[in-house]
Copies of this chain bind each other. A is one copy, B any other.
Amino acid sequence: MAINDNNTDSNKSQKQEEKDLPKVVIFLPPPVFSLIGEESFASNKFLFLKAYDSQLPLLQFLSTHSKSIKAILSSGGAAVNADILQLLPEVGLVVTTSAGLNQIDIPECRRRGIKIANAGNVYSDDVADLAVGLLIDVLRKVSASDRYVRQGFWATKGDYPLGSKLGGKRVGIVGLGNIGREVAKRLEAFGCFVSYNSRKKKPYVSYPFYQNVCELAANCDALIICCGLSDETHHMINKQVLSALGKEGVIVNVGRGPIIDEKEMLRCLVQGEIAGAGLDVFENEPDVPKEFFALDNVVLSPHRAVFTPESEKNLSQLVVGNLEAFLSNKPLLSEYVD
């Protein structure tokens, strides 16, 4: 196709306009880019600056573009720490595509007056759906009995062992944020008794509150981990908590892998000290300890709780909306407040 002079002129002025737009730096491609396409994040209010497309080492790249970078788009993999932030004095916002914020040095952002916007409620429904799905699966042995049928054992070895009833179970939710509340709402419809642990007792919440996660575990048949990862929650689910949960107890983790002492949980699962686990997250993803693979009392999900195409579209709107709001000095759509 021939391009006439007029078009060339308008192309040139478009390039110049783009050059003048505020820049949003990205360190690593967020998984959502390949899932629903980068074009879903396009805006005429800013331009993405992709550090991962440059030959320069990250810190050098950031120094070079230091003045024009107004915001950071962060996903799970790449740290946003003090070393990076001190190179970017113009940055006023970190917006993430993840629900968790453990890659971000939050105190350093606070110190520098940098705002944070996370994925807000976008993921909550999907994560809650999978949490409930994993709980039903572990209790009613869905994946395990599917394996049994696929191996042809139903016809040759007879009936599969009974599962356990969901209704009437006492379910403890660890972390009653957006996700935890959505899990609780669903479990009430199944006739479960919900209680919870969180940093503070929540106002306007009638579920019994346990300040101590060990005490929560002792009073529950199942624990669902819905909290974020932080220094306080790292290995919060340890030998003592698992032992309090007991040999009839099951655990579901849709938070972050390192919240549970994985080695200790594995030992408990192998030795029957807890009854089962439904795990969407692991300590060292994507490497799942091979000892899990032989266990019929676990369901292993490859960190897919947050992902459905429907939600990713909502996410792209939220991310772009947060960036455009920030650049126009408007209130953020999903500002993270401690």
Shortest Cβ gap from A210 to chain B (Å): 24
Shortest Cβ gap from A141 to chain B (Å): 7
- With an 8 A cutoff between CB atoms, is A233 at the interface? no
- Chain B residues contacting A162 (CB-CB under 8 Å) are 35, 304, 307-309, 312
Dominant SS among interface residues on chain A: helix
Instruction: Name which of A21-29, A63-71, A257-265, A295-303 contacts chain B.
Output: A295-303
Residues 127-170 of A at the B interface (beta carbon under 8 Å): 129-130, 132-134, 136-137, 140-143, 145-150, 152, 154-155, 158-160, 162-168
- Chain B residues contacting A154 (CB-CB under 8 Å) are 285-286, 288, 302
Shortest Cβ gap from A136 to chain B (Å): 3
**C-alpha gap A129/B136 in the complex (Å):** 7
A146 touches B149 (CB 8 A): no
Per-residue B-contact encoding for A290-319, CB less than 8 Å = 1, 0 else: 101100000111101001111110000000
- With an 8 A cutoff between CB atoms, is A287 at the interface? yes
**C-alpha gap A47/B113 in the complex (Å):** 80
- Chain B residues contacting A199 (CB-CB under 8 Å) are none
**C-alpha gap A168/B129 in the complex (Å):** 12
A160 touches B302 (CB 8 A): yes
Residues 197-222 of A at the B interface (beta carbon under 8 Å): none
Shortest Cβ gap from A279 to chain B (Å): 9
Residues 81-102 of A at the B interface (beta carbon under 8 Å): none
B143 touches A133 (CB 8 A): no
- With an 8 A cutoff between CB atoms, is A52 at the interface? no
Instruction: Name which of A37-45, A187-195, A324-332 contacts chain B.
Output: A187-195
Shortest Cβ gap from A29 to chain B (Å): 13
B165 touches A125 (CB 8 A): yes
- With an 8 A cutoff between CB atoms, is A228 at the interface? no
A165 touches B311 (CB 8 A): yes
B133 touches A31 (CB 8 A): no
B149 touches A140 (CB 8 A): no
- Chain B residues contacting A125 (CB-CB under 8 Å) are 165-167, 190-191
- With an 8 A cutoff between CB atoms, is A247 at the interface? no
A190 touches B129 (CB 8 A): yes
- Chain B residues contacting A285 (CB-CB under 8 Å) are 154
A189 touches B188 (CB 8 A): yes
B167 touches A300 (CB 8 A): no
Shortest Cβ gap from A297 to chain B (Å): 12
B145 touches A302 (CB 8 A): yes
Q: Which of B134, B165, B286, B311 contacts A142 (CB 8 A)?
A: B134
Contact status of A130 and B142, CB under 8 A, knowing A136-B136, A150-B293: yes
- With an 8 A cutoff between CB atoms, is A239 at the interface? no
Contact status of A129 and B299, CB under 8 A, knowing A143-B142, A154-B288, A186-B189: no
Q: List 13 A-B contacts (CB under 8 A).
A: A125-B165, A126-B165, A129-B166, A142-B301, A145-B301, A149-B293, A149-B302, A150-B300, A155-B287, A162-B309, A163-B308, A164-B308, A165-B309
| A-B CB proximity, top 3 nearest | A133-B136, A189-B189, A165-B308
Residues of A within 8 A of B (CB): 31, 35, 125-126, 129-130, 132-134, 136-137, 140-143, 145-150, 152, 154-155, 158-160, 162-168, 185-186, 188-191, 285-288, 290, 292-293, 299-302, 304, 307-312
